[in-house]
Structure 1
Amino acid sequence: MTKAATYCESHGNIDIDLFSYKLLFRRDLITHKEYVDERKNSNEEISRLMNSNEEISRLMNSNEEISRLMNSNEEISRLMNSNEEISRLKNSNEEISRLKNSNEEISRLKNSNEEISRLMNSNEEISRLMNSNEEISRLKNSNEEISRLMISHKMNSIKNKTLEKVIY
């Protein structure tokens, strides 16, 4: 004999089906509250990941701006040095000739291995940041899948408990 049947017998003419329904309803409310709490936690985690993504995007933009400013400063520095050199060499044909050679050397150095290496390092950093964004996207998708699985598990648990009640 089930607990519900025992209770109903001891308290007189209480409909056993109504009593069992009230017990199931109370358990469903508790299960629904747990589901809502888990859903809220999952949404907070998704929000945190989205904020993290925005921060990474902001840092990438900041890094690009810093790189542009650094290149601009280097160019200004090169121009200032060049202007000083031109001033010193203004009245000398030999110095003018040297400046021509120096300008050719500057052009050649722009395409040197150091410049190529710097560009490759910059590309590797961009690639790393893009991989980081892809990983965040995968984690976000993983969290959504976990949430779906947890909901499915909860629903199966409720079904199993309901079936157990019906069997007893």
Structure 2
Amino acid sequence: MTADQGLSAALAAEHAAVYAYAVIGARTTGDLRATATSAFNAHRARRDQLRTLIIARGGTPAEPDATYRLPLTPSTAAQAVELAVLVERGVTAAYLELAASGDATVRRMAALAMQECVTRSYGLRPAIEAFPGMPARPAPTPTATASS
């Protein structure tokens, strides 16, 4: 995959993320809606950054689809969190190819974008999954405590 193809893939992921967070925001309230609104704005900013970068490199950025097929339509707060975590993981994966780019500017932007996505995902569901091909972290072993 070339850097230009990677930028286009990341842009497509950002378009989908903006759509998904609009749905999440419309179906939540309170702190979760504030979190969704913040994520929506962050993904819009990354989308705009990618569009600008693609244009600067002589390309034509793809427009968003009119609608997207979501893996689930949230009707509860738990489902909204589930969708948001899926979105963040998907966007992280889209930037992964760009993190290996020979272009230092693209590489840095991709690394920062992935960091933001992982931070948002962890804030919604504080769990870290093992990288593909790596063993899962062992469960903590209970330690004996001295009683008085």
TM-score normalised per structure 2: 0.34
Query: Larger radius of gyration, structure 1 or 2?
Result: 1
TM-score normalised per structure 1: 0.30
- Bigger RCO (CA 8 Å, 6+ sep): 1
